[in-house]
Structure 1
């Protein structure tokens, strides 16, 4: 996607994209000539917001793109134009509104997952002037592409080993260091729930733990759910629910995308990324409903359903992160269907008790067109996690199935006590229907807004 944005000075010629409204369209057509006017009439193009048309002009072809009087109808609206454009180079005509946001929308929509295709698709580039910060946009696009590529890769080619190696490769690229704890060593090093969830797979479970940056800088720790495929375990999913489970490592993918942005922009933080990597498989040694697991925190956990495995591996990882009291601890996970029932696929909920951080996330996410919605850590619902035989159950035991996303967040909260600020994101990690800036498939959710939050807080600039 980064390659879809270039400087005007680096291309010999490009096709202009004119922003038009229903009111301004006649004036723009006057400058393009009678052929463009006639073509608009034939195609019944009136300049309505988010509509577009490629027209002939006196000096060559041009693209008309409908905007509202106040600017783009949506910050990523220009992305809706990309699929219908022929191959080639384009540029925003003089006066085009919000050029940096328009460029981001354009570039995000050029993404395609071509690893398994012979035809790599059309190449379309947008040439921009010096008002657009290409370095910053490139950093964001690289992070989004990493997240999308990882989610879109099927589990036969992305097992726990490959996912952990993606962490290694990213940190090696930026000079970070770390380690991977594999298989039975998870028990030796006190990650019992990571081991329990992943031990039934022929591909050994593991935990990647990597750091980057000045050790004296503020500590920012990211934890991502890395379930490369979720069968549901012994509580086996039906086929319709299993079809998209290659995306169950979407939390890890998004965490790595955000880490990429942080390291590439050299934010003055000490970054730590922890990713438990497992496959929730079915075998004779799989963990069972009714089992009681020990955890790194020391709490015992009664297993109510093996299909709620993500919060178990996150609990061990969060407990590890919490031991060094980071200033900010962020976890991301494709955790509950309840979040999708409540808010749909496009609006992930987040949970935190830090009011200032919650407000910063809301403001920055909206500004970045990276929507998020705060949900409450409603403490009375902790009673739904009561167990008569262990310290806690990991699922709602009330029998009514209420507040699934909230109770999952409350479960995780029991494993965080020393951190300055903790925030949990229950993401979907997938775009089910293509829209501007968001091709269908694996998706980066929340990380563009979070990158702005962290940049503002630690570098003083977005």
Structure 2
């Protein structure tokens, strides 16, 4: 095993949240309108001289009489304006010198503190970097342990997505899963080799051509009497496209094709850390989609765990294949809820862009709960329809279904409809088709790997099942 999981110590990649009441330089959050209120005349004049206007994300460093830093003004812009970023405080770690700071006047102190921690994230495994950070004093009245737990889980997931495939393959995904399981006393089993070929034939077929063996990772935690919740994450450590090989430009970010697995592990880390009253199961099919003489081929017909036969229309639609076997296993456990996460289709990105994962479900109550959780967690998604007539686009003349549609339309929807064939009895099934990457830095969201929908999933489970 490589040292990828061992090096991914999430506490070392985000700033520290110090106990409430600790000393620190004040960072005063002010709106664009009326930011001058409460400032001494000299402070007001100094801020004006520096061009400070209270624009969202702007800062003014106010000096003390001895030449040191007295306090910092931080502009919120108009917090109620359309498009205002609730994570605007996530810019602060990149603007502050190393030291200790405390927030004053933040409209939502808990969100501001979380944004600070998320914005402080660094991935510096391969370079020498200054470890000193701008640390934050926990605002009074916020649950510092909860905020820290969420931020560290996100950092762990980001580390996994950011790690190059030469240091993160199926074995390292397994190692990361074992680390999470051991941290919370969860049980974990892994199926590989001949057992995988027999029990999870689609997972085996997708990963067979890689030098690094595929596997199915299965984590269980919690009281057997509690509601059963299963998280399924796509763990394709690298995706060449298989024999339908991708162009080089499309391969550049394929280390992130295990982003669904990172989301599932990050959400599970939050759930178990909070002690939610659920019987949690996490299923991760971990593979590398490579090219070799034993690679599965276009036109092959493969038998799935569920018994359905699948004609391979395109080997680059491998994620839905490995998820299909995992979903069949998940449904056999008769869970109250299944959530699956995957970097599945370019069609979802074309429709919604990189910031907005697509979400699918047939359950209206679940859809409403997901929308509410997304708003509370500031972890947005957009629901797309499971339009049943499009299922005919997956018809095959020689198998039960094809793994791709027979035309260029509705790619995200047909992928979601494909997955529903493998967990048809579970009405409360949510499918998230995400990008797993921040193309550019935004407050609280540094450029690079991102575990989109992990915080949403945790908030959803917390609201449905409590502690």
Mark yes or no: TM-score above 0.5. yes
1:289 is aligned to 2:298? yes
Indicate which of 105, 113, 122 corresponds to 1:103: 113
Output aligned runs, 1:158-177, within 5 Å. Answer: 158-177=168-187
Partner of residue 81, structure 1:
92
Indicate which of 415, 434, 440 corresponds to 2:422: 415
TM-score by length of 1: 0.94
Deviation at 1:68, TM superposition (A): 4.3
SS in 2 for 1:25: coil
SS in 2 for 1:156: coil
Deviation at 1:155, TM superposition (A): 0.7
| Deviation per residue, 1:383-440 (Å, 9 max, x gap) | 110100111001011x3x1000000000000000232511100011000010001000
Indicate which of 127, 139, 154 corresponds to 1:129: 139
Q: Is the 8 A contact 1:395 1:408 kept in 2?
A: yes
Higher mean displacement: 70-79 or 194-203: 70-79
Q: Is the 8 A contact 2:14 2:120 kept in 1?
A: no
Q: Which runs of 5+ in 1 are unaligned?
A: none
Partner of residue 57, structure 2:
50
Q: Is the 8 A contact 1:21 1:68 kept in 2?
A: yes
Higher mean displacement: 20-29 or 265-274: 20-29
| Structure 2 Cα separation of the partners of residues 335 and 266 of structure 1 | 30
| Structure 2 Cα separation of the partners of residues 58 and 357 of structure 1 | 57
Higher mean displacement: 280-289 or 72-81: 72-81
Deviation at 1:121, TM superposition (A): 4.5
Q: Is the 8 A contact 1:194 1:278 kept in 2?
A: yes
Partner of residue 198, structure 1:
207
| Deviation per residue, 1:160-209 (Å, 9 max, x gap) | 11111211121111111121111222123x21100000000011111111
Output aligned runs, 1:323-334, within 5 Å. Answer: 323-334=332-343
SS in 2 for 1:61: strand
Indicate which of 241, 246, 249 corresponds to 1:237: 246
Indicate which of 405, 410, 421 corresponds to 2:412: 405
Q: Is the 8 A contact 1:225 1:332 kept in 2?
A: yes
Partner of residue 6, structure 2:
none
Partner of residue 397, structure 2:
388
Q: Is the 8 A contact 1:2 1:138 kept in 2?
A: no
1:263 is aligned to 2:272? yes
What is the CA RMSD across the aligned residues, in angstroms?
A: 1.6
| Structure 2 Cα separation of the partners of residues 340 and 376 of structure 1 | 15
| Structure 2 Cα separation of the partners of residues 429 and 297 of structure 1 | 28
Alpha-carbon spacing, 1:390–1:6, altered in 2? closer, same or farther (3 Å):
same
Partner of residue 440, structure 2:
433
Higher mean displacement: 155-164 or 41-50: 41-50
Q: Is the 8 A contact 1:142 1:260 kept in 2?
A: no
Q: Is the 8 A contact 2:239 2:257 kept in 1?
A: yes
| Deviation per residue, 1:306-356 (Å, 9 max, x gap) | 111000000001001111110001100000000000000000011011111
Deviation at 1:47, TM superposition (A): 1.5
Q: Which runs of 5+ in 2 are unaligned?
A: 1-12
Runs of 4+ in 1 over 4 A off after TM superposition: 68-72
SS in 1 for 2:37: helix
| Deviation per residue, 1:83-111 (Å, 9 max, x gap) | 12111111012x33211111111111000
1:450 is aligned to 2:453? no
| Structure 1 Cα separation of the partners of residues 365 and 185 of structure 2 | 32
| Deviation per residue, 1:232-291 (Å, 9 max, x gap) | 110111111000000000000000000000100011111111101100000011001011
Q: Is the 8 A contact 1:71 1:97 kept in 2?
A: no
Deviation at 1:116, TM superposition (A): 1.3
Indicate which of 25, 39, 42 corresponds to 2:35: 25
Indicate which of 152, 163, 171 corresponds to 1:142: 152
